[in-house]
Chain A
Amino acid sequence: MTAIQISGLTKDYQIGFWRKRPWRALDGLSLEVERGEVFGFLGHNGAGKTTTLKLLTGLIFPTAGTAKVLGKPVGQPETFRHLGYLPENPYFYDYLTAQELLDYFAHFFQMDAGLRVRRREEMLKLVGLDSFRDMPLRKFSKGMLQRIGIAQAVLHDPEIVLLDEPMSGLDPMGRREVRDLIVQMKAEGKTVFFSTHILSDVEALCDRVAILNRGKLVGVGRLSELLRQRSGVEAVVECASSCSAELQHLASKPVTVSGGQYRLEIQEENMPRFLAFCQTEGVRLVSLNPIRASLEDYFTELSQSASDGEHVSSGVSAL
């Protein structure tokens, strides 16, 4: 069963003070997240990640399209029993203490007193705020707010957890802990959907990722599959200019020329043909280096090509 089902989701914000005009923050997003997946939602600042998560929690209403969580329309009290949400840069009632806040939220889940205390204690320990339980949230630092935010998101042991930039504001220890938490939740069979612009988190944690650029989905798939597009070698060769056409044919990107040397990228599957070509045409191989498959490069490249108005390689969008 799919945990989250998004189809054609679009959101226009009204901007401008005098003359309101629509600004498309999210444009026809379609996405499915399976149960038990850890799903990374990637995009630059302003790509539309927060917008998507707020649509999924019913905090804002879509201009077009639908979203379902566990097969039900979003925003139903029933779905919130199984859904936890960490807002971006969370803010809570600053007149409450950490303990009071968790107690307050626990009331909405009809936990009996015993369960409420137990969950609250577990959560405070989990996010390392055990010793700050009686401090008013007014005095909390950004990282501490992030921690209490995570605690309230998983307070009721939800099946699906939506986290908006869960690592932001945290120290290295905190990030480590959040990663461990996500891994643990995956082990428990929970679905985790989190947005981020920090790629290392994604590389370490996610089963699948979706990449969003300026409100449009530009890529979605398993990490290994997305990264395979980028695996291959970078070759530098010297040869007669008559060979350049054939070299371009074999390369996956435009070939650059400098000082009579050709620099080109070649995909794994083209390697045998390339090597054969070199042998038959007497092309001199200067160097041959494997390209490091980095999500970072992929991400930058996708974003760049998207902003250039180009289409992303068909292999990716077909995934």
Chain B
Amino acid sequence: MNSSPVLAVTLNTFREAVRDRILYNLVAFAVILIASAVLFGQISIGIEKIILINLGLSSISVFGLLIAIFLGINLVFKEIDKRSLYALLSKPVRRWQFLLGKFLGLNVTLLVNTIFMTAGFWAALYYLNRKFERQDQFIWVAIYFILLELSLVTAICLFFSCFSTPVLSAVFTFLLYIIGSFSADIRGFGELTHSAPLKALSTFVYYLVPNFSDFSVAAPVAHGKAVPGTLVLLNTIYTLCYASVLLVASMAVFSRKDLK
């Protein structure tokens, strides 16, 4: 396997994102929101820090999500639609390499954006407290989980983007995100019912949809609680497994697709 075509596509995907104005708007907006948490926090005496951490992590996650979906739905579709793929795929690059490159490219983009937003967030935290505390290290874990989550969202987008229009992909991805965030409730609901098939179905759905609630540790982290190391490891493995399911499925679909 030669990774150089993948790398080339990755870098070009990143370059495309960087030249897109919408990205700057979103990142700027997120940073402003985080900064405003400082003002917001000062009204609620005693829990300024909790509010800042909650709002900061939520902003990073929500804006990351917006960027992931906005860019993700067009990742493959735009290249098919505008036919820029014709010239690319008549170079020595396999279709799966193209997809992998696109996926990694968007992940790099999200990583860089998150770094910017995180910098803004830490600055706000420092401005508020004038010091960092020991338990603040778990904020990094929360941010790492956000990145895992965004990576999963990217994989979902990529998958839908291989065979449906951007609007539909966005709707599907968003729905799956919502369902995935409440999947524990789906199972809880199944366990409350007395019907065995319904219970089985809800358990199946629980394991079928991506479980985004695994990644939401913002609230406990805001209260200074520690995140166990095993959870970090498990969530990483989970993301790898689930994203590879989506990636391989996307590659299988895409490798037989007529580029009309």
A and B, direct touch (CB closer than 8 Å) = yes
Q: Are A57 and B89 in contact (CB under 8 A)?
A: yes
In-complex Cβ contact of A93 among B84, B89, B260 (8 A): B84
Q: Are A91 and B82 in contact (CB under 8 A)?
A: yes
B83 within 8 A of partner (CB): yes
User: Could you tell me the distance between the alpha carbons of A152 and B86 in the complex, rounded to whole angstroms?
Assistant: 12
Q: Are B90 and A80 in contact (CB under 8 A)?
A: yes
Contacts of B259 in A (CB 8 A): 54, 59-60
B134 within 8 A of partner (CB): no
Q: Are B92 and A78 in contact (CB under 8 A)?
A: yes
Contacts of B256 in A (CB 8 A): 61
Contacts of B4 in A (CB 8 A): 107-108, 110
Q: Are B5 and A93 in contact (CB under 8 A)?
A: no
Contacts of A57 in B (CB 8 A): 86, 89-90
Measured between C-beta atoms, what is the minimum distance from A36 to chain B in Å? 21
Contact with A along B1-36 (1 / 0, CB 8 A): 000110010001001100110000000000000000
Q: Are A60 and B92 in contact (CB under 8 A)?
A: no
Contact with B along A132-171 (1 / 0, CB 8 A): 0000000000000000010011000000000000000000
Contact status of A77 and B92, CB under 8 A, knowing A54-B259, A61-B256, A93-B16: yes
Contacts of A129 in B (CB 8 A): none
Closest to A55 in B: B258
B192 within 8 A of partner (CB): no
Closest to A14 in B: B258
Measured between C-beta atoms, what is the minimum distance from A141 to chain B in Å? 17
Contacts of B92 in A (CB 8 A): 77-78, 80-81, 108-109
Contacts of A59 in B (CB 8 A): 85-86, 89-90, 258-259
Contact status of A108 and B84, CB under 8 A, knowing A59-B90, A61-B258, A80-B91: no
A87 within 8 A of partner (CB): yes
Q: Are A83 and B84 in contact (CB under 8 A)?
A: no
Q: Are A91 and B84 in contact (CB under 8 A)?
A: yes
Measured between C-beta atoms, what is the minimum distance from B7 to chain A in Å? 8
B93 within 8 A of partner (CB): yes
Q: Are B15 and A105 in contact (CB under 8 A)?
A: no
A13 within 8 A of partner (CB): yes
User: Could you tell me the distance between the alpha carbons of A108 and B5 in the complex, rounded to whole angstroms?
Assistant: 6
Measured between C-beta atoms, what is the minimum distance from A65 to chain B in Å? 15
Give the most central of B12, B19, B92: most A CB within 10 Å.
B92
Measured between C-beta atoms, what is the minimum distance from A97 to chain B in Å? 11
In-complex Cβ contact of B87 among A54, A105, A107 (8 A): A105
User: Could you tell me the distance between the alpha carbons of A105 and B260 in the complex, rounded to whole angstroms?
Assistant: 21
Contacts of A149 in B (CB 8 A): 87
Q: Are B90 and A83 in contact (CB under 8 A)?
A: yes
In-complex Cβ contact of B91 among A89, A91, A109 (8 A): A109
Contact status of A92 and B15, CB under 8 A, knowing A104-B8, A107-B5, A107-B8: no
7 closest A-B pairs by beta carbon, nearest first, are: A77-B92, A87-B86, A85-B90, A107-B8, A108-B91, A60-B258, A95-B19
B-binding residues in A (CB < 8 A): 13, 54, 57-61, 77-78, 80-81, 83-85, 87, 89-93, 95-96, 104-105, 107-110, 149, 152-153
User: Can you list 26 residue pairs at the A/B interface with Cβ under 8 Å?
Assistant: A57-B86, A57-B89, A58-B89, A59-B90, A59-B258, A60-B258, A60-B260, A80-B90, A80-B91, A80-B93, A85-B87, A87-B87, A87-B90, A89-B83, A90-B83, A91-B83, A91-B84, A92-B87, A93-B12, A93-B84, A104-B8, A107-B4, A108-B92, A109-B92, A152-B87, A153-B87
